[in-house]
């Protein structure tokens, strides 16, 4: 690109031998590229080389599948992180067979009420012997990416996608594998997300230090003291560093469904951050406008708006130490009241919902998949609130002349 007229008179003539270099004045004369774009809000930068490292059995593959399903369907990852531009994905698994992958994916589909047709364009390969250092496989991957134009390519785990004789501790030997991932990203325009193991000490990726120097987004995975939760520490090379969080593994043995959701405390903290940011940019916005922008349960967001604005006069937005239900009670009670009590919500499982509504078990499970679910650590059942069921019935009740087609 040539320099603008008001700069060119100060630019010295450059010999042709340095024509591969650019002038910074030319760069700064171009339009501002704007803020860093995300593939997954706060978690993965668009078109990044991303790494998901963690110890064995720490739910790295579950984390990768949740991200892949969200990127493809457009549903928020872990129920909270938005997908600005959903699209096709490619998932390559070399530690899971086809049947095992089928079980995991169908469990996620049931847990999130995703119908089978929504998975058109979600491409996968299991135990095909994919090798990133093999020219034949490199050509296959590049051709597949060119045909599919995926938003993301997941490789799980990287250690199974190299030749058996290639030493992962040797920088020289792993260089071709890492460089191909960069080529795959450049030619496809997709984010390339690889899953890798950490070493026995600390949370650094196992093998050559090039792994840690290569990523542009990183989601460090670690187990927690609570068996049902997994810790995630996001990092970015050139974007704002988000807060660590925990996601909860919600498994229902009756429906064989899985739902991965942000831990309640972290979900509230994230919503609070979004509410605060929106109110800082739009101080006169109504609570309903904030809810439309931020999303989530309306009563929780309205309560957060009230709580954030209470602290706004001091220039401090206090972190709430209690749950969203208490926030809602506080908002309803006002600032001057004494102790407020409220009955706990009544919970229904699939069996009770079936009995009370006089419907089949299959229909009861479908109804539950349309509602927010309640799970507890070390409890395999999944519940819904009676009030949510009543609201859904009210919303789906039509007059004779209103029945949807």
Q: Which token pair is 35?
A: 């803020």
Q: Quick one: the chain helix, strand, coil %, rounded to 5? A: 40, 20, 40
Compute CA distances 265 → 80, 214, 226, 269, 304, whole Å. 13, 32, 14, 6, 13
Q: What is the pLDDT of residue 184?
A: 97
Q: Is the pLDDT of residue 387 over 70?
A: yes
Q: What is the mean pLDDT of residues 23-40?
A: 92
Q: What is the pLDDT of residue 148?
A: 97
Strands (E), 44-112: 44-45, 49-54, 89-93
Residues 6+ away with beta carbon under 8 Å from 195 = 51, 52, 53, 60, 61, 64, 154, 155, 156, 157, 158
Query: pLDDT tens digits for 338-369?
Result: 444 456 778 888 888 888 888 888 888 888 88
Q: Is the pLDDT of residue 237 over 90?
A: yes
Q: What is the pLDDT of residue 323?
A: 39
Q: Which token pair is 227?
A: 């068996």
Query: pLDDT tens digits for 206-222?
Result: 888 889 999 999 999 99
Compute CA distances 337 → 191, 314, 320, 329, 331, whole Å. 52, 21, 18, 11, 11
Q: What is the DSSP string of 22-48?
A: --HHHHHHSPP--SPPEEETTTEETT-
Q: What is the pLDDT of residue 399?
A: 60
Query: pLDDT tens digits for 145-187?
Result: 999 999 999 999 999 999 888 999 898 999 999 999 999 999 9
Q: How far apart are CA 73 and CA 86, in angstroms?
A: 6
Residue 277: which pLDDT band, with cuts at 50, 70 and 90?
confident
**Global confidence as pTM:** 0.73
Residues 6+ away with beta carbon under 8 Å from 80 = 261, 262, 267, 270, 271
C-beta separation of 247 from 208 below 8 A: no
Residue 3: which pLDDT band, with cuts at 50, 70 and 90?
low
Q: Is the pLDDT of residue 322 over 70?
A: no
Residues 6+ away with beta carbon under 8 Å from 340 = 329, 330, 332, 333
Q: Which token pair is 373?
A: 């679910």
User: How many CB atoms within 10 Å of residue 160?
Assistant: 17
Question: Could you tell me which residue, 112 or 344, shows the higher pLDDT?
Answer: 112
Q: Is the pLDDT of residue 317 over 60?
A: no
């Amino acid at each position: 690109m040539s320099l603008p007229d008001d700069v060119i008179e100060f630019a010295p003539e450059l010999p042709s031998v340095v024509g591969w270099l650019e002038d910074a004045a030319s760069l700064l004369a171009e339009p501002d590229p704007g803020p860093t774009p995300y593939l997954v809000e706060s978690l993965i930068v668009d078109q990044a080389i991303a790494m998901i490292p963690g110890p064995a059995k720490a739910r790295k593959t579950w984390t990768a599948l949740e991200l892949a399903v969200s990127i493809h369907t457009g549903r928020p990852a872990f129920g909270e992180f938005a997908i600005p531009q959903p699209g096709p994905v490619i998932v390559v698994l070399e530690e899971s067979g086809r049947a095992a992958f089928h079980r995991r994916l169908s469990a996620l589909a049931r847990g999130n009420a995703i119908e089978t047709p929504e998975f058109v364009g979600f491409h996968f390969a299991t135990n095909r012997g994919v090798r990133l250092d093999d020219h034949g496989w490199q050509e296959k991957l590049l051709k597949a990416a060119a045909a599919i134009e995926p938003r993301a390519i997941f490789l799980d785990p990287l250690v199974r996608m190299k030749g058996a004789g290639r030493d992962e501790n040797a920088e020289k030997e792993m260089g071709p594998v890492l460089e191909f991932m960069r080529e795959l990203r450049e030619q496809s325009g997709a984010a390339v997300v690889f899953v890798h193991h950490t070493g026995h000490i600390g949370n650094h990726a196992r093998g050559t230090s090039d792994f840690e120097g290569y990523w542009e987004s990183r989601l460090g995975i670690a187990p927690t003291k609570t068996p049902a939760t997994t810790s995630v520490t996001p990092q970015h090379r050139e974007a704002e560093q988000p807060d660590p969080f925990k996601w909860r593994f919600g498994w229902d043995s009756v429906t064989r469904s899985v739902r991965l959701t942000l831990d309640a405390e972290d979900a509230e903290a994230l919503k609070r951050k979004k509410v605060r940011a929106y109110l800082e940019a739009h101080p006169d916005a109504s609570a309903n406008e904030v809810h439309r922008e931020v999303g989530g349960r309306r009563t929780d967001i309205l309560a957060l708006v009230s709580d954030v604005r209470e602290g706004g006069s001091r220039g401090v937005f206090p972190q709430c130490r209690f749950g969203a239900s208490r926030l809602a009670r506080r908002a309803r009670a006002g600032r001057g009241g004494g102790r407020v009590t409220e009955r706990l919500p009544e919970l229904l499982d699939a069996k009770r919902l079936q009995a009370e509504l006089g419907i089949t078990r299959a229909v009861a499970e479908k109804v539950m998949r349309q509602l927010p679910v309640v799970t507890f650590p070390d409890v395999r059942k999944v519940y819904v609130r009676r009030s949510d069921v009543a609201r859904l019935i009210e919303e789906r009740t039509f007059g004779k002349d209103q029945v949807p087609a």
